[in-house]
Amino acid sequence: MALGRVIARRVAQGVMLAALLPLCAGCFFAARQGVKAWRGDKAAAGPCDGTVLPPDLPAGADGPYALNQHTVAETGTGREVQVFLPAHALGPSPVILFAHGFGADRWTLYEGLIRHLVSRGAVVVFAPYPTLGATQDQRYGAVWNGFLAAVAADGAAMDLTRVGLIGHSFGAGAVPFLATRAFVDRGWGGRGGFILMLAPWYSYATSDTDLAGLPAAIIRAWQVYDRDTVNDQRMAVDLYTHTPATAGRYFFQANSGTVSRPQGGACPLTADHRTPVQGNSPLLQRLAVYPVVDALADQAFAPSPGTAAALAALGHQGGDGYRPLVREDTPAPAQPQDAYRWPWTHPRNPRQGEGQP
């Protein structure tokens, strides 16, 4: 079926769906009860797979939209770019551009996160890049050209005035470069935008001037993991520190721990480099990753006093028990450099000249 007919059918059917969706005052996304509460009965005691959520911890619940997938060929590399559309969405939807980790070029490795974002009403673009036989510039170029190919093919379904950029590991290091292309060169995100870097690797073609040059309205956020032994947290701290304090910026750490189950036993949660990846601690994803992307998208795409308060409070919730997510206003590396496979002082880090984080 031609894409135009698909979009037309989505809009028409969306009129019927809209009457059924719950209202979410002050929120861009309308949440549904896609997961169960953490009750004491046997049926809801649940495994540790994220289908059951404890009531005392903020968590990311799915929205009402099913996922439609569309494949687009990127002519420069011949790789297939995946575009994920919220089924029956009303009109063009906000867009989230995703840059994957090194070698993690199959979208199914991030399926949980992608499905969550689409379920809450966003178009998601997954643009792969070559792992071997390419320079860093070529990899960055492949991601950006993949985004452009997706926009050329499916732009009618995208609201490019509302754009988010999410990256993991190598892809997170590329986010500042991609953000300059998207928000400065192309002018996307005029009505709202955000960037989120999950455990970033080294950032190429990114100067302090580039960080300062992003539009002030673009929300910036970073997330690191307390048991990450791959990428030095100093990369994230560096980018945060050299981002103008006048910009909206947020730094979060996801923490390892255990959550007690009502029927006895516990769910062990490990916050390591693979936390955003499919199948790796899905309950922790709902407790530490999804709330961040949800709050950023809500505030960027449909800001209100309520969404601003929710984002400001995220990670500051107190208590003496386990805290999966903590916001750090003055972040500092949690481990010495020799704890990481890729330390700050590695010769491949191009930002060493920009100053020690």
Tens-place pLDDT, residues 282-304: 999 999 999 999 999 999 999 99
CA–CA separation, 124 and 118 (whole Å)? 7
Distances (CA, A) of 171 to 133, 164, 178, 287: 17, 14, 10, 22
Tens-place pLDDT, residues 307-325: 999 999 999 876 568 899 9
pTM: 0.89
Taking Cα atoms as reference points, which of 69, 70, 65 lies closest to residue 88?
65
- pLDDT of the residue at 17: 36
CATH code reported for the domain at 28-354: 3.40.50.1820
Tens-place pLDDT, residues 65-117: 999 999 998 877 788 999 999 999 988 999 999 999 999 999 999 999 999 99
- pLDDT of the residue at 35: 62
Residue type at 342 in one-letter notation:
W
Residue 36: band (very low, low, confident or very high) from pLDDT cuts 50, 70, 90: low
Taking Cα atoms as reference points, which of 149, 126, 129, 150 lies closest to residue 139?
129
Residue type at 343 in one-letter notation:
P
- pLDDT of the residue at 247: 81
For residues 137 and 205, the answer to whether their CB atoms sit within 8 Å is: yes
- pLDDT of the residue at 122: 98
Burial of 76 (0-12, 13-18, 19+ CB in 10 A): middle
Annotated domain spans of the chain: 28-354
Whether residue 11 has pLDDT greater than 60: no
Taking Cα atoms as reference points, which of 153, 177, 175, 149 lies closest to residue 164?
175
Tell me which DSSP letter residue 182 carries. I
Residue 58: band (very low, low, confident or very high) from pLDDT cuts 50, 70, 90: confident
Q: Which H helix or E strand runs over 328?
A: none
Whether residue 16 has pLDDT greater than 80: no
Whether residue 265 has pLDDT greater than 50: yes
Tens-place pLDDT, residues 122-147: 999 999 999 999 999 999 999 999 99
